[in-house]
Structure 1
Amino acid sequence: MSALAFLASDPDGYALIDLRDSDSAHPLREVLSVSREDFAQVVTWIEAEFEPRWAMLRTTPWMQPLISAGVFLAKAYVLSLAQRIMHRTPLAAEQVEDFDLERPVPATDRFNQDALFDTPAFGESLEDVIALYTQQRRALPQDPAARKRLELLIHAESVGALIACEMEHAGLSWDEAGHRALLREQLGERVSEYARPPKLAAKAQELAAALKTPGLNPDSPQELLKALHKAGFAVRSVRAWELEQISHPVIQQVMEYKKLSRLASAHGDMWLEQWVKNGRFHPHYVLGTVVSGRWAASGGGALQLPHAIRQVVRTGPGRTFVVADGRQLEPRILAAISNDQQLQQAGQQDDLYQWLLDAKLVSTRQDAKLGMLSVIYGGGGGASGTVGAALTKSFPTAMRFVEQAALAGQQGEGVRSFLGRGCPPADEQWMRAQRDTADEASQRSADAAARARGRFTRNFVVQATAAEWALVWMGHARHLIHQAGWGRDCQQVFFVHDELVFECPEELAEQLQRLIQHAALLAGRTLFGAASPHFPVSVAISANYGDAK
């Protein structure tokens, strides 16, 4: 028997827990009214006795007190995240309204039970939670295979939300003294919030002199662009990716200034005081808001830590990081979702790029990487385009798969990931711009928009599925760590796209490495079955996160 535990607010207390059989929906006990003081103890008992899947509207406010009390929930169903998935997936059997994940719902904001989706906000009463769950279950596809995939996505996303809460609570070990020493070395003595640190101010003056623009404010994109044009640099913007294409001492000065300016603004003294407490960085992770399923972070720039800052991410004595990174993940994902047998054969090797070299499809590893990205993302020209053409000839099934996704995007259609996360069709404004092409300029604009959307949907089918694999990988690693009895000693503390960072005692590091690698194997089989491509992961063990990168 599998159990489902609905968790909701108690208007007369703290929490209500309704325990039911997952298949029949029959109650297994009377609804429990639980006080704040007894909450963790009651949940612990239910978890041990029934091992239910916990259905809750959001992880807040439930997970914070449970994690603080050391309570582990194995399974979850987060209805707000499921609602976003069901709203966007093309697999749904009936239309499902969206859920505003960006706006917290006030406790008094209740919706009408007689018109469940007439209001944009959902309440958190037990009746609300059960009604929303029931509606979502009714909207699941009838096809068994599609239903199984979509359920897996919802369950993986929900466990991902539990992991996000656990990581936020644990925090990332941070060397505060080392961080301040880095700031003094790079920027000079601390100044007021509105002034440039001494070394950054000196760089600004040097750059103004080099560009012959006295009083230049290089933090203003408009002023900097104007100064570069005056100096003879025909650039369209001052974005780093464009400036990096130019080899010139002045441009190098610009890049150095931008790097220091970002350090001062994004990870300076004020940032350190706001985000690092007692030697731990506690970012807030956000799920469900990025269309591809990748995570975002609210404040703190958690997903964009520059290399210099990674050097101050250090564990304490006797502890170490175990950093695991999916190797050549996206080509392997493409092999699986396209069912390209030749690419799957290449993906059985630990080093897919070496296979391409041995097969004489490319001349260098860099060619292999750039060419494969060209195949996946429809990139460019030059050498990468030439290599991409050679790879296309070798992997025609994979190429047709991404080309079909690109064509769907160009026509304004939606696409989906392997498990069913949907990229919605283009909106009416986009479609109208495609139709209203009365002159050459509007036609060029429409064609450019179509190509851009085609590149996005081509990217989406691979990237969104890679995000699903990473979610399942994390879920398996979390489960295996708990099974091994290491939950208090080994914790996942950071996650960026397809990289997992754990912290553990030094003596457990090698065992944890093997566990994480096994979890990657299980993730592939969970998504793609026995015919799953090989998903090797690179693992580095270091007390310094910067050295593990």
Structure 2
Amino acid sequence: MSAIAFLAADPDGYALIDLRDQHSGSLLQPVTPVDAEAFPSVVAGLETQHSPRWVMLRTDPWMRPLIAAGVHLAKAHILCLAQRILHRSPLASKELEDFDLERPVQSFEPANQDALFAAPSSGESLSEIIAMYLSQREALPQDPGPGQRLELLIHAESVGALIACEMEAAGLSWDEAGHRALLREQLGPRVSDYGRPPKLAAKAQQLATALGTPGLNPDSPQELLRALHKAGFAVSSVRAWELEQLNHPLIAEVLEYKKLSRLASTHGDAWLDQWVKNGRFHPHYVLGTVTSGRWAASGGGALQLPHSIRQVVRTREGSTFVVADGRQLEPRILAAISNDQQLQKAGQQDDLYQWLLDAKLVASRNDAKLGMLSVIYGGGGGASGAVGAALTRSFPTAMRFVEQAAATGQQGGGVRSFLGRGCPPADEQWLAGQKATSDEASQRAADSAARARGRFTRNFVVQATAAEWALVWMGHARHLIHQAGWSRICKQVFFVHDEIVFECPTGLAPQLQEVIRHAAMLAGRTLFGQASPRFPVSVAISDNYAEAK
């Protein structure tokens, strides 16, 4: 018997737990009021006896005490994340209001509530939680195929939210002393939060002299751009990627300054004081706010750790990182969702790019990578465009798939991922810009906006599905680790796009890497069935994150 447990705040205490049969809705026990002290043990008992799917509005405040007590929830339905998914999904059978993930929800008004449950009241009461869940169930498609996909997405997103809470609590092992030593070596002695570190100040003075601009503030893009123009460098911006195209000693000095300035501002002493506690970095992960389903992080720059900083991400003695990432994930995802048999054949190989090279479709592995990204992202210039054209001839079904997504976007339409995450149609401002084409300039602007939106939707169908695969991969890995009895000693501590990082005892690492690879295979089958393309993962074991990359 499948059980579902609704979790809500108790207006007269701490929590209310309503345990029901998932299919009939009948109570399995009376609604249970639980005080804060007993909450973890009561939840653990219900998890052991019934393994219900836990329905809660948000993970906060429930997950923090459960994680602290070592309580593992296998399944969840996080209502706020499900509401955002259903609001945007074109597969939903009825329209639902959006949920503001940055602010608390207003009173929820149920529609056609089953008489089995009490009428909701204002606030986030138990009856309101139940009503919101029922409304979301009604919004699932009646067709079993789309309905199962969308439900899988909601369940995967919800388990992802549990993982995010667990990672935030565990933290990423950090060599704080090593980080401070790196800052002293690169920047010099610590200064006030508003001052420029000594070595950075010296470099700023050197640049001002070399560029013939006394008093230059190289942290100001406008001032630096004017100084470069004055020195004879015809650049349109001071972005690093543009400056890197210029082979000149002075430009190299500018890039070095920018690197050190970024270190001081984003991972300097103040950052360490705020984000690293007791040798662990505790970022806050945010789900549901990025259209494609990728995660964001609130403060701390968790998803943008530069290589210079990764060297101080170290485990303590006796532990190690197991770092895994999907190999050539997006081309394999494209093969699956487009049902391009030739690309799927290439994807059965451990190294898809080498297969393209062996088949003489490209001249080098780098050409294979750039060409495939050109196909997915819609690039068309230079050598990558030429290789992309060759790949297009070899994989016409995949190409038609992404071209259709691009065409839909250019016309202002919305697209969706494989499981049903929706990319909304263009907004009114975009549509108005497409109509306001009374002169050549406005027509060019409209055409440019249409092409940009086409590139976005073209990429969305692949990237959003890749994000779904990653969610399911993490979910399977978490389940297998718990089944093996390793949950207390083996923890996922980091995640970015298609890379997951675990920390475990050194002796357990070889077994863990096999579990991770098995979870990747299960993720492919969960999404795409037995005919799923292969999803090989690269796994590295190291006590230093930089060496595992």
Fold match by TM threshold 0.5 = yes
The alignment's TM-score, normalised by the length of structure 2, stands at: 0.97
How do 1:68-107 residues align onto structure 2 when only pairs under 5 Å count? 68-104=68-104
Q: Which 5+ residue runs of structure 1 have no aligned equivalent?
A: none
Q: Give 1:197's aligned residue.
A: 197
Q: Which residue of 2 aligns with 1:135?
A: 135
| Deviations 1:287-316, CA, capped at 9 Å, x for gaps | 000000000000100000011110000000
Q: What's the offset of the Cα at 1:227?
A: 1.2
Aligned pairs (5 A) from 1:482-501 = 482-501=482-501
Tell me the secondary structure at the aligned position of residue 67 of structure 1: helix
Q: Is residue 2:274 matched to residue 1:278?
A: no
Tell me how far 1:245 sits from its aligned partner: 2.0
Q: Does 1:425 align with 2:425?
A: yes
Cα shift at 1:19:
0.6
Alignment of 1:23-422 (within 5 A): 23-104=23-104, 110-111=107-108, 123-422=123-422
Q: Aligned AA for 2:130?
A: I
1:405 aligns to what SS in structure 2? Answer: helix
**1:28-71 deviation digits (Å, cap 9, x = unpaired):** 11111001011001000100111000000000000000000000
Aligned residue number for residue 474 of structure 1: 474
- Which amino acid counterpart does residue 493 of structure 2 have in structure 1? V
> Distance between the aligned counterparts of 2:185 and 2:300, measured in 1?
22
Separation in 2, partners of 1:97, 1:91: 15
Paired with 2:226 and 2:344, the residues of 1 have a C-alpha distance of 50
Q: Provide the C-alpha distance between the structure 2 equivalents of 1:232 and 1:21, rounded to a whole number of angstroms.
A: 74
Q: C-alpha distance in 2, partners of 1:368/1:59?
A: 42
5+ long unaligned stretches in structure 2: 114-120
For residues 127 and 153 of structure 1, the distance between their equivalents in structure 2, rounded to whole angstroms, comes to 25
Task: Supply the distance in 2 between the matched residues of 1:145 and 1:110 (Cα, whole angstroms).
Answer: 32
Q: Retained in 1: the 8 A contact 2:187–2:200?
A: yes
Residue 100 of structure 1, CA deviation:
0.3
Amino acid at match of 2:509: A
Distance apart, 1:429 and its partner CA: 1.1
- 1:475-520 Cα deviation digits (max 9, x unpaired): 0000000000000110000000000000000000000000000000
Deviations 1:401-451 (A, max 9, x none): 000000000000000000000000001111111011000000000000000
CA deviation string 1:222-262 (max 9, x = no partner):
11111122222222221222222222222211111110000
User: What amino acid is the match of 2:498?
Assistant: D
User: Is the contact made by 2:414 and 2:422 (CA closer than 8 Å) also made in structure 1?
Assistant: yes
What is the CA–CA distance in structure 1 between the aligned matches of 2:91 and 2:123, rounded to whole Å? 26
**2:215 maps to amino acid:** G
Shift of 1:7: 0.3
2:547 paired with 1:547: yes
Question: What secondary structure sits across from 1:225 in the alignment?
Answer: helix
The AA in structure 2 aligned to 1:170 is A
Distance 1:112 1:342, change over 3 A: closer
- Aligned pair count? 542
Task: Report the more deviating stretch, 201-210 or 238-247.
Answer: 238-247
Answer with 319-328 or 241-250: which moved more: 241-250
Corresponding residue of 2:464: 464
Residues 210 and 380 (structure 1), Cα distance of their counterparts in 2 relative to 1, 3 Å cut? farther
**Matched position secondary structure for 2:47:** helix
Q: Distance in 2 between matches of 1:283 and 1:178?
A: 19
Q: Name the structure 2 match of 1:529.
A: 529
Q: Distance in 2 between matches of 1:238 and 1:444?
A: 26
Identical columns (%): 79
SS of the residue 1:300 aligns to:
coil
Between the aligned partners of 2:232 and 2:467, the Cα distance in structure 1 is 43
Query: Which is worse superposed, 151-160 or 194-203?
Result: 194-203
Q: In structure 2, what residue type is equivalent to 1:10?
A: D
Q: 1:139 to 1:113 in 2, by over 3 A?
A: closer
Post-superposition Cα deviations, 1:311-343, rounded to whole Å, max 9, x if no partner, equal 000000110000001000000000000000000
Give 1:356 deviation, angstroms. 0.3
CA distance, structure 2, for counterparts of residue 79 and residue 123 of structure 1 = 14
1:329 and 1:69 mapped to 2: Cα distance? 36
Give the SS at the match of 1:145.
helix
The amino acid of 1:210's aligned partner reads: A
- Return the alpha-carbon distance in structure 2 between the equivalents of residues 126 and 254 of structure 1: 58
Aligned-residue offset at 1:380:
2.9
Distance (whole Å) between structure 1 residues aligned to residue 414 and residue 319 of structure 2: 46
Q: For 1:259 and 1:122, how far apart are their aligned partners in 2? A: 52
TM-score after normalising by structure 1? 0.97
Classify the secondary structure of the residue corresponding to 2:409: helix
Question: Which letter does structure 1 place at the counterpart of 2:34?
Answer: V
SS at match of 2:530: helix
Deviation digits for residues 191-229 of structure 1, max 9, x if unmatched? 111111011111111111121111110111111111122
What CA distance in whole angstroms lies between the structure 1 residues aligned with 2:359 and 2:491?
A: 41
- Please, which moves more after superposition, 539-548 or 95-104? 95-104
